[in-house]
Amino acid sequence: MAGLVPRAVLFDFGGVIWNMRWDVARRLESEHGLPAEALRTTLYQSAAWREVERGRGDREAWLTAAHASLEKLTGHALPPLHTEWRAAQAAIAPNVELIRALRPSYRTAVLSNADITLRSRLSDGLGIVSLFDEIVCSAEVGCAKPEPEIYALACNRLGLPPAACVFVDDNESNVRAADAVGIRGVLHHIDRGDDLRAQLAAVGVRPVTP
């Protein structure tokens, strides 16, 4: 299967389709005397999140616990910083337009570690659910990246072998895991100025112009 022409592209949500605004997180941490990375770690590196992203935990309890963890770090009450951070986030318009341009020449999918609200965010929130042939959300399927099972599931749903797929993520561990199962991985950091169109072209994925 090595060397197959790419026929599908799988996209992470946060960091690839959705701008996480790490700059805003850093500003909030500085303003409130929090350690660097505190917003990210309290939200996404907790035992509660590991349950939520696999569809087993309570979303509201996770958010409440994350805020309590921030207050424990500072020793005093804080405004809802996670909410403020998330309110600053938005879709990455050039990447969304690129996904639109890839269709129908390529099959496209979302492959994301996300809570159970992901599908409604793509449909009701952003109105872009029709841009994807498949949505593989960790909370819906009960496993999460970088577990190899979720990559295999995504390829199976697309009806393609891993070697015919490309995967884009902002997490290096997830990209390495994709590579390990035979999917071509692309590490994309919007906050570092990465150009997704150029990155995909480098692995043979290009929109077909009329």
In a domain, 34, yes or no: yes
pLDDT 10s digits, 170-201: 999 999 999 999 999 999 999 999 999 999 99
- Same domain as 95, residue 77: no
In a domain, 2, yes or no: no
In a domain, 117, yes or no: yes
- Same domain as 42, residue 125: no
In a domain, 54, yes or no: yes
Question: Which pLDDT value is given to residue 4?
Answer: 85
In a domain, 191, yes or no: yes
- Same domain as 138, residue 116: yes
Q: How many domains does the chain have?
A: 2
- Same domain as 96, residue 70: no
Query: 46-55 contacts: CB < 8 A, separation 24 or more?
Result: 50/144, 52/115, 52/139, 53/113, 53/114, 53/115, 53/138, 53/139, 53/144, 54/138, 54/139, 54/142, 54/143, 54/144, 55/116, 55/138, 55/139, 55/140, 55/141, 55/142
In a domain, 210, yes or no: no
- Same domain as 152, residue 190: yes
- Same domain as 141, residue 63: no
Query: Which of 44, 68, 87 corresponds to the end of one domain?
Result: 87
Question: Which pLDDT value is given to residue 1?
Answer: 46
In a domain, 138, yes or no: yes
- Same domain as 74, residue 16: no
pTM value?
Answer: 0.95
Question: Which pLDDT value is given to residue 208?
Answer: 83
- Same domain as 105, residue 155: yes
- Same domain as 189, residue 166: yes
- Same domain as 110, residue 77: no
Q: Domain residues for 124?
A: 8-20+90-202
In a domain, 120, yes or no: yes
Query: Which of 87, 110, 134 corresponds to the end of one domain?
Result: 87
Query: Three-state SS across the chain?
Result: CCCCCCCEEEECCECCCEECCHHHHHHHHHHCCCCCCHHHHHHHCCHHHHHHCCCCCCHHHHHHHHHHHHHHHHCCCCCCHHHHHHHCCEECHHHHHHHHHHCCCCEEEEEECCCCCHHHHHHHHCCCHHHCCEEEEHHHHCCCCCCHHHHHHHHHHHCCCHHHEEEEECCHHHHHHHHHCCCEEEECCHHHCCCHHHHHHHCCCCCCCC
Query: Which of 65, 87, 109 corresponds to the end of one domain?
Result: 87
Question: Which pLDDT value is given to residue 210?
Answer: 61
Low pLDDT (below 70) residues in the chain: 1-3, 210
- Same domain as 68, residue 51: yes
- Same domain as 170, residue 82: no
